[in-house]
Amino acid sequence: MVYLVELWESIRDFLGTGGDVLYVVMGALFLMWVLMIERYWFLTGVFPKLKKQIISDWDARKDTTSWYAHKIRDAWISEANEKLNARILLIKTCVAICPLIGLLGTVTGMIAVFEIMAVQGTGNPRLMASGISMATIPTMAGMVAALSGMFFASRLEARVRRAKERLIDSLPHH
């Protein structure tokens, strides 16, 4: 329990040092990971059942060679592809927006430095250092958030692509 309290205090100190923009980075990161976990859950828990249903429906058809049968097959593959790719674009957008939010923190931190310099002058390096840390920490946090998301998002896209290819291979068109 003491460990959790200390962990929370260190996170709170980090957020305080980086400014309010870190809350926005944290929100984007949380949304991105919730969406990625949901997609992994869909790929491992829901899609295999959907794939099995599509394959059984295809195997139950008497006609699998006509033009109409091929169009039905293509429609089923297209519907499965839409379900597989749901929210992938939103995940990629969250990955792309994290560094931009970090840059917003850089701008707000530099504004704080300039305000300190205007009021106090350049003679107080301790006050300037707090503004500079408020400028650099959000940028770093945005980059780390984007890098973590980029790796898993690309792996997720590869798994989605493989799942679609396996579905297509499972529906022979004689």
Q: Give the span between the Cα atoms of 19 and 106, in whole angstroms.
A: 10
Q: Give the span between the Cα atoms of 60 and 91, in whole angstroms.
A: 37
Element (H, E) at 154: helix 125-170
Given a cut of 50, the residues of the chain with pLDDT beneath it are none
Predicted local distance difference test score (pLDDT) of residue 45? 95
Q: Could you identify the residue written with the tokens 């829901």?
A: 46
Tokens of 4: 């959790």
Domain spans, the chain = 24-170
Predicted local distance difference test score (pLDDT) of residue 122? 67
Residues 151/38, Cβ–Cβ less than 8 Å:
no
Q: What average pLDDT does the structure give for the chain? A: 89
Residues 112/134, Cβ–Cβ less than 8 Å:
yes
The angle at the Cα of 92, spanning 20 to 49, to the nearest 5 degrees, equals 120
Residue pLDDT, tens place only, 49-72: 999 999 999 989 888 888 998 999
Predicted local distance difference test score (pLDDT) of residue 123? 67
Q: pTM for this one?
A: 0.83
Q: Give the span between the Cα atoms of 61 and 38, in whole angstroms.
A: 33
Helix, strand, coil % over all residues of the chain, rounded to 5 = 90, 0, 10
Q: E-assigned strands of the chain? A: none
